[in-house]
Amino acid sequence: MSEPLRVGMVGYAFMGAAHSQAWRTVNHVYDLPAPVTMQVLSGRSATAVAAAAGRLGWAGHTDDWRTLLKRDDVDLIDICAPGDVHAEIAIAALAAGKHVLCEKPLANSVAEARSMVAAADEARRSGVRAMCGFNYRRVPAVALMKRMIADGRVGTIRHVRASYLQDWIVDPEFPLVWRLRKEVAGSGALGDIGAHIVDLTQFVTGLSITSVSALTSTFVKKRPLPAASSGLSASAGSPEFGDVTVDDAVLFLARLGDGVVATYEATRFATGRKNGLQVEINGSQGSLVFDFERMNELSFFDGTRPVDEQGFTRILVTEPTHPYMSAWWPPGHLIGYEHTFTHQAYDLVRAIAAGDDPAPSFADALQVQLVLDAVARSAETSSWISLEGAS
């Protein structure tokens, strides 16, 4: 592969901006097997997408994503739109012979996710690749955590604990945006941020969640309608209100693999917490702790050291020998959130060029979807739920 990889993207809000940053940057940081070109940006509003394309660095724009399927100058479609359109766009793009990068969670239901996996499997026979965008896998400290666990540095894993805490909807006057509507988002904190810690813990441990026991809560059940949001509108004067149809918070117990116990918490009501993602792994010989608010660091407790030398050690993950870091700055110079998307783009381009399957695949993302579904069913029935097979 020496010709440019020409990208078309659907969506230009938060994730669209993050992905655009990555596509703009990856050519200048990594020695790629093929250059990337930002060909066309798609969005529903012709005026807004035109402005976004200019701001974000896209060569062209369209207000109909279906035109991307017909363009010979688009090789890959990057889906940054809400979850209710993931399946439709991804399946159509794969059928049209386009590689696909789709944001997490993969879909709004297990049925949709299975259809996407089937489409990816069929397209793979023709050399077309698909990947789901769990960007936190590409934090260098997380990749180092996975490597250390695989190298046996913590011994046999006993405990996993993970939390993702935010507070952006604590105010009951915050409007009923699409992330608070089940028909668009699929779920609330569970799919939006819970999916990340489900994927991260399975990624670093190499173990899959096998059963869950969960509870969810919605604290603010009605919110003012935004001025305009996917067909919803508030009349002039006092605002109209609509129902919040997703969870505000989710907590669950889980079992991973054979005998590993775990706890998970995801909420958008942790007042004062802005993006507090933490993962801790306790093993028979040591522990590892990752805190995204200290994303360039990893804490390691080495239980094999003499007792009078034990204690958590701070590893500053900025050495060129650490994952992804050889492309960036001298040791001690920190990187940020946006770099995870650049790493994601780098890994995807390399996989496509080599004819390899990128990770996480749609099948990997389906496994996460199965966990989300099991958690939702457990919360409804107040019972332990075993995961169905992903095949």
State yes or no: pLDDT of 237 exceeds 80.
Answer: no
Asked whether residue 161 falls in the same domain as residue 306, the answer is yes
Count up the domains in the chain and report the number. Answer: 2
pLDDT score at 1 = 53
Asked whether residue 177 falls in the same domain as residue 63, the answer is no
State yes or no: pLDDT of 117 exceeds 50.
Answer: yes
Which of 75, 110, 136 corresponds to the end of one domain?
136
Asked whether residue 166 falls in the same domain as residue 48, the answer is no
SS (H, E, C) the chain: CCCCEEEEEECCCHHHHHHHHHHHHHHHHCCCCCCEEEEEEECCCHHHHHHHHHHHCCCEEECCCHHHHHCCCCCEEEECCCHHHHHHHHHHHHHCCCEEEEECCCCCCHHHHHHHHHHHHHHHCCCCCEEEECHHHHCHHHHHHHHHHHCCCCCCEEEEEEEEECCCCCCCCCCCCHHHCHHHHCCCHHHHHHHHHHHHHHHHHCCCEEEEEEEEECCCCEEECCCCECCECCCCCCCCEEECCCCCEEEEEEEECCCEEEEEEEECCCCCCCCEEEEEEEECCEEEEEEHHHCCEEEEEECCCCHHHCCCEEEECCCCCCCCHHHCCCCCCCCCHHHHHHHHHHHHHHHHHHCCCCCCCHHHHHHHHHHHHHHHHHHHHCCCEECCCCC
Average pLDDT over residues 226-247: 71
State yes or no: pLDDT of 391 exceeds 70.
Answer: no
Q: Which residue has the tokens 């995807």?
A: 348
Give per-residue pLDDT as tens, 150-182: 999 999 999 999 999 999 999 999 999 999 999
The parent domain of residue 321 ranges over: 140-294+296-335
Binning pLDDT at 50, 70 and 90, where does residue 191 land? very high
Q: Which residue has the tokens 């999916």?
A: 195
Q: Which of 161, 144, 80 is nearest to 319 (CA)?
A: 144
Question: What CATH number should be reported for the domain holding residue 327?
Answer: 3.30.360.10
Question: What CATH number should be reported for the domain holding residue 20?
Answer: 3.40.50.720
For residue 355, is it within any domain? no
Neighbours of 287 (CB within 10 A): 20
Give per-residue pLDDT as tens, 30-83: 999 999 999 999 999 999 999 999 999 999 999 999 999 999 999 999 999 999
pLDDT score at 22 = 98
State yes or no: pLDDT of 236 exceeds 90.
Answer: no
Q: Which residue has the tokens 């917490």?
A: 273
For residue 341, is it within any domain? no
pLDDT score at 231 = 47
Residues 6+ apart with CB under 8 A from 57: 20, 23, 24, 38
pLDDT score at 190 = 98
Q: Which of 34, 11, 106, 25 is nearest to 340 (CA)?
A: 25
Asked whether residue 125 falls in the same domain as residue 250, the answer is no
Beta bridge partners of 76: 7, 99
Which of 85, 110, 136 corresponds to the end of one domain?
136
Asked whether residue 46 falls in the same domain as residue 131, the answer is yes
Give per-residue pLDDT as tens, 241-275: 999 999 999 999 999 998 999 999 999 999 999 99
Average pLDDT over residues 287-306: 98
Q: Which of 330, 40, 367, 356 is nearest to 207 (CA)?
A: 367
Work out the mean pLDDT of the chain and round it to a whole number.
95
Q: Which of 228, 242, 199, 205 is nearest to 372 (CA)?
A: 199
Give per-residue pLDDT as tens, 87-107: 999 999 999 999 999 999 999
Q: Which residue has the tokens 């079992």?
A: 255
Asked whether residue 19 falls in the same domain as residue 39, the answer is yes
pLDDT score at 238 = 60
